[in-house]
Amino acid sequence: MAGNTTGDYSALLRPDADVGATPPSAYPPAEFQRVLSMTERLFPGPIQVRHEIDPEIAGHHYLIFCVVGSGSFDDIMARDRQWHREIAHQAKLSANVYTLMIDVQQ
């Protein structure tokens, strides 16, 4: 994977995935890579990806992309909005599975 990421995500990926209603081994590698590349472009720097299970919705799993946002608040928020716009194109069927968490550093 790309140099800015932390962790081995191979356990999260499987080509025949049914994303959103299955465990983390089900995320399709090509889709994950597109989302990761887009995240790296918008938020250069370290990226950590965490798998979370929704405590309120049985069987729903999420990948949270934890990034550092530097720059002005307006710039960070613009990149946040751009990430959410692009996620719909990068992961058309499973955009709701991916979440962005920004650690804002001024």
**Other beta carbons within 10 Å of 31:** 21
Whether pTM > 0.75 for this model: the answer is: no
Better-predicted residue by pLDDT, 98 or 58: 98
E strands along 4-74, which residues? 5-6, 47-53, 61-70
CATH classification of 5-105 is 3.30.70, yes or no?
yes
Better-predicted residue by pLDDT, 84 or 93: 84
Span 39-92, pLDDT tens digits: 999 999 889 888 888 888 887 778 889 999 999 999 999 999 999 999 988 877
